[in-house]
Chains A and B, each alone.
Chain A
Amino acid sequence: MEQTTILKLSGLSKKFDSRTAVDHISLEIRQGEIFGLLGPNGAGKSTTLNMVCSLLKPTSGSIEVFGMDAKKEMKQIKRRIGYIPQDLAIHGNLKAWENVELFTSLYGIRGKELSNAVDESLEFVGLLDRRNSYAKTFSGGMKRRLNIACSIGHRPDLMIFDEPTVGVDPQSRNFILEKIKESNAKGATVIYTSHYMEEVEAICTRIAIMDNGRIIATGTRDELARLVTDRDPDSVSLEEVFLTLTGKKLRDYSGGEG
């Protein structure tokens, strides 16, 4: 049975002055996938995700989410997306539950449903017992988990994780990855970007590799491995595939989005 397309990008481009950050990419993500978006710094991953979340306006091309045109029905689309930003977006001077309540309420959830959603979200990220603590007193890993809780209170159908494990300890990272898999098992479609190959390898069902604003390869881990070697795919790491496809030259972009 063919799965429903959750996200469809067609000829999507974004230019910052003379620099093309995203160059006519087309992509389809299906329901139930954990889709990994890989690429070196400045490849265009965050720019692509920012366009999907309406943080940036595309220069050209179209975005369809849940079968709806992003240009026309963004408000409906936003209700069903949970965007977990790369940078922590929480108020240090608010308690954990207040943060989750605040950001969940932005999706129109009120009353008893809201208080249930707050507790569920905090429980999901393992912070229920710290619900009354101020966010500023949390460790880096706890802040990351709270950052996630603030984005999932409205029970999104599509969760977009933009490098959610940057700067966290291995335990917190493992916890976050497990929770992403759990969310996916409950029915959420996930888009995941990271520089950590082993994370992408561990959780993603399909992967796209971006470089210089273009998608240069898409497929499962094994399909990507077969693109670069004739050996048994299990004997090739994702990092090897990635470096073969994108090269070993250092990428240090400045200005514009990554």
Chain B
Amino acid sequence: MILIKNNLKLMLRCKPIILILLCMIMVTGMLSAVFKDMMTDSLELGSFELGYSFTQDCVYEPIRPVLENVGRENGIKLIRQEDGVAQQAIQNGTADVFAEFSNKGCTVYSSDDHQIEASVVEMIITSLLSGTSATQIKDYLTEYKIDVQPMPDSQMYYTVAYTVYFVWCAMIVLGVITSAEHKNKIGTRFRTSPASSLSVYLSRFVPSAIVITALMFAGVAICTALFKLTWSQTALCALILLLGCIAAAALATVLFSLIRNVIVCVVAGYCLLMFWGFFGGSFCPYMWATFADKFRDYSPIYYMTRSLVELNTSGSSELTIPTVLILCGMTVVCVPLGMAAVRIGKEN
């Protein structure tokens, strides 16, 4: 307890920690302002025209009424055209985006200045076709309800995205303790004392979790007040964020205990977060992402960001339970790993 208390004091007395909070608010404010128009545009789906065609005897033909229904509800102007004219339609400007259905699947065409609309169309078509085979599609469509996720506004999206991103970036707070221990040769005291590895582990993990959580909630509170945001499913969102903070602290303890060199540790953490953030929707909203979905699966940031965004826009998310399980799983794996790393460090 005394170890935890004093390590907490060491963290809180490190003034640069406040930079994490300031960065989070500044980046959120900046990006939400920069991308405000773009994200607003993406909400107005009626502002573009979607050409589409089906090859003769195309097995996907039954989705046509559903596609038209989606277009009508979202204001997308659908224009049925002959097969094989996709590129011409784009070049002539008779359609902003063109969806060409054949028995092999669907090809989406668009010009460079309608990439966002093309992504929206891809998202809708993927939603329509996912989980179906050509022979099942008729049965499937009779039960299928198209659920186009409402888009968040840029301030909500970036508040969520950068709260999540900075929760993981805040792992750096543990560096305050480990670098102080390294610089001041405190390891000698731990190794010559009868203190257990568990108490040393907890003295790193618990203060990190507390400080990351405090920074996160402060950041969320300031952004909410600043951007006048309204959160829905508040308890669930808070739970996901809290679990994220705990998982981040657990991961930080593993990294900082395993890699003794603070600089190497920070670089390793930075690379990991760049990867997670890139594929997780921190830098580009995940709904516009063009890379393969499999990369997202390795990013807890993606799960957190998407579930929080969906909870706030549609009140529920199918990723909520996977997100909770992933974060709990990370903590469960990282705690024994961290303890082992501390024990090895204490013995050597």
Contacts and interface: CB of A to CB of B under 8 A. Distances in A.
A93 B13 contact: yes
Interface string B179-199: 010001110111111110001
A91 B184 contact: yes
Interface of B: 2-3, 6, 9-10, 13-14, 180, 184-186, 188-195, 199
B184 A54 contact: no
A130 B106 CA distance: 77
Contact of B195 (A101, A106, A114): A106
Interface stretch (A73-81, A176-184, A194-202, A241-249): A73-81
A150 interface: yes
Contact of A75 (B6, B10, B14, B194): B194
Nearest to B196: A75
A107 B194 contact: yes
Contacts of A54: 191-192
A115 to B, nearest CB: 11
B275 to A, nearest CB: 33
A120 B34 CA distance: 61
A153 to B, nearest CB: 11
Contacts of A93: 9-10, 13-14, 180
10 contacts: A53-B191, A54-B191, A78-B192, A89-B189, A91-B6, A94-B9, A94-B10, A106-B189, A108-B194, A151-B189
Interface residues of A, number: 30
A103 B193 contact: yes
B185 A88 contact: yes
A87 to B, nearest CB: 5
Interface of A: 53-55, 75-76, 78-79, 81, 83, 85, 87-94, 98, 101-103, 105-108, 110, 114, 150-151
B6 A102 contact: yes
Contact of A91 (B180, B193, B199): B180
Nearest to B7: A102
A89 B6 contact: no
Q: State the 8 A-B residue pairs at the shortest beta-carbon distance, nearest first.
A: A106-B193, A105-B2, A106-B195, A78-B194, A83-B192, A102-B6, A53-B192, A75-B194
B6 A101 contact: yes
Nearest to A57: B347
Given A78-B192, A78-B194, A107-B194, A92 B6 contact: no
The CB with the most chain B CB atoms within 10 A, among A76, A92, A93, is that of A93
